[in-house]
Amino acid sequence: MTTDASAPWLIVGLGNPGPEYAGNRHNVGFMVADLLAERIGGKFKRAGKAQAQVVEGRIGPPGPANRRVVLAKPMSYMNLSGGPVTALRDFYKVPTAHVVAVHDELDIDYGVLRLKLGGGDNGHNGLKSMTKAMGADYHRLRFGIGRPPGRMQVADFVLKDFSSAERKELDYFVDRAADAVECLVTEGLERAQSAYNA
């Protein structure tokens, strides 16, 4: 799949809007997007008609590896993410292969990262909505949150804040996830996978 190297990238942090969700495991995508915005010196603002907040900027060293990026946080709630993401993709003329979804992943241990292109949604409602809206050929950065303890329901687990033990390492893991996104955008998937896929 070839795409124009100069085309912008759309990096989507998946989560739910509102302060009551801000620290939830399900909102780790928002956390990574916020850190990336901080790194490029931008502030999220409402994006025209799209139900999302965006920051535009550049990632990477000066020269050919420097990439134009749009960071986005859909404001539609997780299970409706596909509409805002597709609207932004079309507005900014981003090839689907230059879309990156950053999301929580139950089937990976806490803090472990996995980068991939395409694939299934593994029951993740944000990915399900995106795939339904624009197909599956986008990148994903899966951020491990582990499985719920005991008999806790998955929905309860993902909508709870990280535990105090997890929070001790959360900044480090979010920082590493932001590094992984930058590596993907500037150096490509294989390089990013070999550096960050545990």
Active site residues: 26
Is the CB of residue 63 less than 8 Å from the CB of residue 2?
no
Calpha distance 141→187 (Å, rounded): 15
**Tokens 């996104």 label which residue?**
181
Q: Report the DSSP pairing between strands 9-13 and 99-105.
A: parallel
* DSSP per residue, 9-76: EEEEE----SGGGTTBGGGHHHHHHHHHHHHTT---EE-TTSSEEEEEEEESSSSTT-EEEEEEEESS
Residue 62 dihedral angles phi and psi, to the nearest 5°: -60, 145
